[in-house]
Amino acid sequence: MAFTLWAGAPDALAQANITPAAALERLLVSEALEADWFAPVFLAQIPVEQVEIIVAQLRAGLGQLVGVQGSGVNYEVVFEQGVLPAQIVLDAEGRIAGLFFGPPRPKVSGLEEALAPFAELPGQVSVLVLGGSAELAALNPDEPLAVGSAFKLAVLAALRQQIALGQRSWDEVVVLDETWRSLPSGILQEWPAGSPVTLHTLAALMISFSDNTATDALLHLVGRDAVEALTVRNRPFLSTREAFVLKSPANEDLLARWRAADEAGRRALLAEAANRPLPTADVFDSPRALDVEWFFTTRELCGLMGAVYDLPLMSINPGVANADDWAWVAFKGGSEPGVLNLTTALADASGARYCVSATWNHTDNLDELRFFGLYSGLLEAIKQLGASR
């Protein structure tokens, strides 16, 4: 009994004294993970076997571990072929209670190397990197693709125009209308009709949380025609509710008529769509009716971003970028099954400005983590470019 007690005590002491960096390194180099490295609260949500799969995927994609840098809860794990942002929290006994891996950044020598892997993605891909107004890197930048919620940049641009003209103000208060209620993402779909909100609150939720109900509210308030003036291709310009209804498996008849109709016919069908109930969110677990979307080129998205990037609300959610690397980050992305866009405006300490927009469309579900990693490579290449000046 005495031997068992003393044999266990040093192990427990060593576990309690382990640093977060050492815990990360042990996790990422070990062939087999042990359950007692993790707190019960962690294992209640994620089993060890799932963590082992994630670690194996990281090693397969990034190579051997080189080292761990950082402090507190924020770290960068350096591999042979890339850098993995990580956050880790240990409990009082040195067990992992919280663990987060961000999109890995591939090691790249420049924009050309960072751009090349995008061409290998299946489906349709568009990428544009601007430095000021100069094109630094591009892949099909003028091909219109479905961009999901990145379309909300157009709604914000129309709102800003009206505020500049004195037609509206950021502190204008409106009450939520039942007809604006949409599906998540967002939080306003849970709020009762009649709740007072400012236009600024609606805009901030639309951009930072991609709140669909906030978006439909603003589209109604600024007017469909005001947004359509910014994007001739997307007419009639759909609300998120209208898109969900058209895509719903219960509305195949409506979708067929939509596809066959011209612009005038489609506008007439929107009145019918308004009387159909919203589907449940779980029907959208795979690509569906990707022609019912919002279509923009990456060049157009950078143009829209240029009209709104300096608004403080654009920096609430930095997206894939590390806000600490930049003097300013403005971000809006968009996604649904089969559709993914990331659009970021950046400014470095010297004042140099960049826009990075990338879109991926495919008839299958997308590997979002892979796309985030490639996009992070573009941001890393731009950071290196700025540092070399």
Residues 26-85: pLDDT tens digits? Answer: 999 998 999 999 999 999 999 999 999 999 988 888 999 999 999 898 999 999 989 999
Per-residue confidence band for 230, with pLDDT thresholds at 50, 70 and 90 = very high
Q: What angle do CA 16, 20, 21 make, to 5 degrees?
A: 130
Please enumerate in sequence order all residues whose Cβ is within 8 A of that of 365, keeping only pairs 6 or more positions apart, or say none.
286, 287, 337, 338
Reply yes or no on whether the pLDDT at 2 is more than 60.
Answer: no
Closest of 365, 196, 232 to residue 286, by C-alpha: 365
Reply yes or no on whether the pLDDT at 1 is more than 50.
Answer: no
Closest of 228, 210, 233 to residue 157, by C-alpha: 228
Q: Report in angstroms the alpha-carbon separations of 167 from 157, 200, 210.
A: 14, 14, 25
What is the average pLDDT across 12-38? 85
pLDDT at position 60 is: 87
Instruction: Give tens-digit pLDDT for 265-321.
Output: 999 999 999 999 999 999 999 999 999 999 999 999 999 999 999 999 999 999 999
Backbone region of residue 285 per phi and psi (left: phi > 0; alpha: psi in -120 to 50; beta: other values): alpha
- Map tokens 């654009």 to a residue: 314
Closest of 342, 343, 312, 345 to residue 330, by C-alpha: 345
Query: Which range, of 25-29, 100-104, 165-169, 246-250, averages the lowest pLDDT?
Result: 100-104
pLDDT at position 351 is: 96
The residue among 2 and 298 whose pLDDT is bigger is 298
Predicted TM-score (pTM) above 0.85: yes
Domains of the chain: 2-102 (3.10.450), 111-146+295-387 (3.30.450)
Q: Which two tokens stand for residue 295?
A: 């279509």
Sign of CA dihedral 160, 163, 165, 168: positive
What average pLDDT is seen over the chain? 94
H-type helices in the chain, by residue range? 2-17, 20-29, 40-43, 48-62, 111-115, 152-164, 199-208, 212-222, 224-228, 240-247, 252-260, 263-273, 298-308, 368-387
What is the average pLDDT across 233-253? 99
Per-residue confidence band for 385, with pLDDT thresholds at 50, 70 and 90 = confident
Reply yes or no on whether the pLDDT at 9 is more than 60.
Answer: no
Contact yes or no for 97/72 (Cβ under 8 A): no
Instruction: Give tens-digit pLDDT for 323-358.
Output: 999 999 999 999 999 999 999 999 999 999 999 999
pLDDT at position 3 is: 25
Looking at residue 145, its amino acid is: L
Distance CA(378)–CA(84), nearest Å, equals 15
The residue among 323 and 369 whose pLDDT is bigger is 323
Q: Which two tokens stand for residue 338?
A: 């089969």
